[in-house]
Structure 1
Amino acid sequence: MPTVNQENVSATRTIAAPAEGVFAVLADPTTHPTIDGTGWVQEPVDRARLAEVGQIFRMDMYHPDAQNGDYQVANEIHVIDPPRTIGWRTGYDPKGDGRLEFGGWSWRYDLVPLGPSTTAVTLTYDWSAVPQSVRDCLHFPPFGPDHLANSLRHLAELARETAA
């Protein structure tokens, strides 16, 4: 069951796969559309494995409320500690000149090995750094309460397939 407060939402799931395998799925941007499950995350523009703080990976996105539906985000890795933690903050390039701006929200996965082939994974979406001007225009979180649990279910399926 997701936990929601005024600044973040999180969910935890036990996954029948080793932490290294779960982390490998998360560090591969090509898996993110499947993990997401909303249809918003489309395809990675940058396909390199996620490996270091400061690394940028862009994703093509779709949302019916966005202008023309299609847009692109630029995610910056802000924490990575294989195979325990990976997180990124989401931004964009508003002028197309390579200067990224970040909206104040981030995604983080914390992995806790429960044994050689079982991992507890907590997914947290945090919007605590979103400025009030953005909060006045956008509702947080921008998805329903089951989104994180569904994402973890998709992650579990991919991690089990990878481990098999």
Structure 2
Amino acid sequence: MPNDVITATTTVDASADTVFAILADPAQHAAIDGTGWVRESLDGRTLTEAGQIFRIAMYHDNVEFDDGHYEMANKVVHFDRPHGIAWEPGQRPANGGDIEFGGWIWRYDLTAEDPARTRVTLTYDWSGVGSALREHIEFPPFAIEHLHNSLDHLAELARRG
């Protein structure tokens, strides 16, 4: 069975509360993103609980409609302040209806090393992606360096406070 998970870890010079607050603010996600695909938050709300849906504007050159612009609706699947947060991206079908989730998850796990330093592990897990979607998208759809870039961006945001 293939390993459908990649991770990256870093230590951030900020408290776990500070790091978690950044991650729980979708308005910060474009600044954190290591791929350059994430644009702005479309809801303007902070994440507060599992089950919450938040929408993000996205852009990717390979998207064949709307000049590469599209929207993701993300469902918070793990919320444990200040220890961890995770979401599963999905989209509404073009004809409307319920959000369809793709089966991949972004997860951040935070461990306070001391009051001003936090170990952060970023996990991208695509083990829930079905075979039909795997025929159209190669997983992971980016190099692991993008996870390291995201953690570097997160560390810089946290450092600036």
TM class by smaller structure: over 0.9
2:60 corresponds to: 63
Partner of 1:148, secondary structure, is helix
1:107 corresponds to: 106
1:83 corresponds to: 82
Structure 1 distance, partners of 2:58, 2:156, is 22
Would the aligned equivalents of 2:34 and 2:147 in 1 still touch at CA under 8 Å?
no
Q: Determine what percentage of the aligned residue pairs are the same residue.
A: 51
Structure 2 distance, partners of 1:160, 1:87, is 22
**TM-score, length-scaled by structure 1:** 0.93
2:117 corresponds to: 118
| Unmatched tracts of structure 2, length 5 or more | none
**TM-score, length-scaled by structure 2:** 0.95
Partner of 1:87, secondary structure, is strand
Would the aligned equivalents of 2:34 and 2:148 in 1 still touch at CA under 8 Å?
no
* Residue 18 (1) aligns with residue 7 (2): no
Q: Map 1:1-164 onto structure 2 (within 5 A).
A: 6-67=3-64, 68-95=67-94, 97-162=96-161
Partner of 1:104, secondary structure, is coil
Partner of 2:102, secondary structure, is strand
- Runs of 4+ displaced beyond 6 Å: none
| Aligned-residue CA RMSD (Å) | 1.1
Aligned residues: 158
Structure 2 distance, partners of 1:86, 1:27, is 8
